[in-house]
Homo-oligomer: A and B are copies of this chain.
Amino acid sequence: MLKHNSYFDGKVQSLGFERNGRKQTAGVIIPGEYHFSTDAPERMTVVSGELSARFTPTGAWVTYPAGSSFEVAGKSAFDVKAGAPTAYLCEFL
């Protein structure tokens, strides 16, 4: 079944599902900056809009437009920011 997740007072929400034993979420981020921690490694793909991400607390922000993706190591953390509502797909690797 689908699992509705809500983070950061509802500013980031996602729908979790599983296909062929692989977990994924389809989500939306409204404008703001957010700090995420990972358990499993994951691939984030921007589906609509644009995200910026950095992978160390003082690292450079990298911009990911719709259609692009980035991967994040397990047991790590990253920052994401959105200037407008942005939809993403997160695949747990």
Residue ranges of A at the interface with B (Cβ–Cβ < 8 Å): 1-2, 4, 6, 10-11, 13-15, 17-20, 24, 26-28, 30, 45, 47-49, 84-89, 91
A17 to B29 alpha-carbon distance, docked (Å): 9
Contact A27–B15 (Cβ < 8 Å): yes
A1-B10, A2-B10, A2-B28 as given contacts; A18 in contact with B85, CB under 8 Å? yes
A88 to B89 alpha-carbon distance, docked (Å): 10
Q: How many copies does the complex hold?
A: 2
A34 to B46 alpha-carbon distance, docked (Å): 27
Contact B30–A28 (Cβ < 8 Å): no
17 further interface pairs, Cβ-Cβ under 8 Å (given A1-B10, A2-B85, A15-B28)? A1-B30, A4-B4, A14-B15, A15-B27, A15-B87, A17-B28, A19-B86, A20-B84, A24-B87, A26-B26, A26-B27, A26-B28, A26-B47, A26-B48, A26-B87, A47-B47, A48-B91
